Amino acid sequence: MDWCLRLSLGYTKDEERATTDNNGCKPSLGGPSMKILMTSDLYTPAINGVVTSIQTLKQALEAAGHEVRVLTLSPKPGFDEKEGVYSVSSISLNKIYPGARVSFTTTDWIKDQILNWQPELIHTHCEFSTFKMAKAIAKDLAIPIVHTYHTIYEDYTHYFSPNKKMGKKIVSLMSKHLLNQVNYVIAPTQKVKDMLMGYQVQSSIAIIPTGIPSQKFSHVLSQAERQELRSQAGYQEGDRLLVFLGRLAKEKNLSEILDYLSQREDSSLKLMICGDGPYKASLQSQVNELGLSDRVHFTGMVDPNQVANYYQMADLFVSASTSETQGLTYIEALFSGLPLLCRQDDSLKEVIQTGLNGFAYQDVEDFYQKLDRLLADPKTLSQMGDFARSQALQSFSAQAFGQAVSDLYEEVLDDHVPASSQAKSHKGLSTLRTWG
């Protein structure tokens, strides 16, 4: 089954084109309604690519008539019935990784509620605390697990291991052990699938790129609106504006872009950095040391409702990250009609169409060669922006994302054979008061 082809074309399992509602989601994903439990150590109000992916998928599936709930970690336990979110009490691990949490205790009544609800499938999005909980629930209900591998932990070893080689080995062994316990793995890109196969993961792996709700980027700024926003932000007519939007962490390699900017004295070339994170202070210090304070502007966190405007204010989206599984901000930029200039990485193979919606660069000389080519002709740049927007709508819609995942759920459920010939009766499960 070619999941990438189905996603890009937006076909159902019966190869019929989907009709969409006002939210960009198909009224029905072609199969019976399902109860899906998603698990993640992080969820809203946290903001990152994983959370965005979960929210997008949850909304797409719910719009199609499925019932979806989320199990996550929180400072205190609870159940938000309106949002369908179970929160398990946990403690912060900010000293190890900003925003991280861990749970060592059980919340009996939450597990009882989930067991009584009886989900048909669990979709895990994290490999730590809530993964263990998901395994226990799946065992009690004899249901399958689908897992999305969101994070390339090899690029995060500096948070927990002083030795990069040892850190990579730990990641490989951990990933192999955990993923061989699930029924199916979703990889956002071929890059991730190849990496997992290199870890010797034996579970089946489907490539399903994460989609974006297109309605968030439906308003295209007029030239007057764009100029007004740029003026309010302090940019002059004639400024050539680059934008980076994302988490300010070491693995994003944004310091490389700053180094590149310092190598050309061009007062019209500006960089707007949108977001926050543990590396912000270091980046600000670098800006001052390089004498870029008049060319680089930190906006801080951006209102989610204004994200599209920040993209559209700029001329190009730039990134030097090689730690992306897919790069949702890259997709958001494309939806906003903004061409890309990003460091060469295998994650870009499904994203950048060279010369049509952007370029990948290899070093500083290549960066400026392609930057100059992109900014030399405003008309061509505008045409590339139009192509970027149309490509994103075709290949990365929330509807296509939800369709592909829903089809995979159906296949997993059809193929699932419980460990025992007969699933446990739920009668008496309320007495099973441990996550495993």
First to last CA, the chain: 34
Give domain status of residue 243, yes or no: yes
Give domain status of residue 426, yes or no: no
Give the chain's domain count.
2
Q: What pLDDT, on the 0 to 100 scale, is given for residue 132?
A: 93
The CATH number of the domain where 79 resides is what?
A: 3.40.50.2000
Are 369 and 410 in a shared domain?
no
Give domain status of residue 81, yes or no: yes
Are 102 and 237 in a shared domain?
no
- State the DSSP code for 99: T
Are 237 and 186 in a shared domain?
no
The answer to whether 187 touches 224, Cβ cutoff 8 Å, is no
Give domain status of residue 82, yes or no: yes
Provide φ and ψ at 116, rounded to 5°. Answer: -65, -35
At 1-60, the pLDDT tens digits run: 334 434 333 333 333 333 344 344 444 455 689 999 999 999 998 878 899 999 999 999
Give domain status of residue 196, yes or no: yes
- Bridge partners of residue 316, in order along the sequence: 242
Are 336 and 190 in a shared domain?
no
Are 258 and 170 in a shared domain?
no
Give domain status of residue 421, yes or no: no
The answer to whether 368 touches 401, Cβ cutoff 8 Å, is no
Q: What pLDDT, on the 0 to 100 scale, is given for residue 168?
A: 80
Are 298 and 411 in a shared domain?
no
Are 185 and 104 in a shared domain?
yes
Are 151 and 171 in a shared domain?
yes
Are 204 and 342 in a shared domain?
no
Are 227 and 260 in a shared domain?
yes
Which residue numbers in the chain have pLDDT < 70? 1-31, 92-100, 104-106, 155-164, 419-436
Q: Which domain holds residue 236?
A: 214-395
At 44-97, the pLDDT tens digits run: 988 788 999 999 999 999 999 999 999 999 988 999 999 999 999 988 666 555
Q: What pLDDT, on the 0 to 100 scale, is given for residue 423?
A: 46
Q: What pLDDT, on the 0 to 100 scale, is given for residue 152?
A: 83
Rounded Cα gap, residues 298 and 270, in angstroms: 11
Q: What pLDDT, on the 0 to 100 scale, is given for residue 393?
A: 92
Q: Are strands 145-148 and 184-187 parallel, antiparallel or unpaired?
A: parallel
Give domain status of residue 222, yes or no: yes
Give domain status of residue 205, yes or no: yes
Q: What pLDDT, on the 0 to 100 scale, is given for residue 419?
A: 63
Structure tokens at 83: 């949002």
Rounded Cα gap, residues 345 and 319, in angstroms: 11
Q: What pLDDT, on the 0 to 100 scale, is given for residue 112?
A: 95
Are 368 and 223 in a shared domain?
yes
The answer to whether 159 touches 171, Cβ cutoff 8 Å, is no
Are 95 and 228 in a shared domain?
no
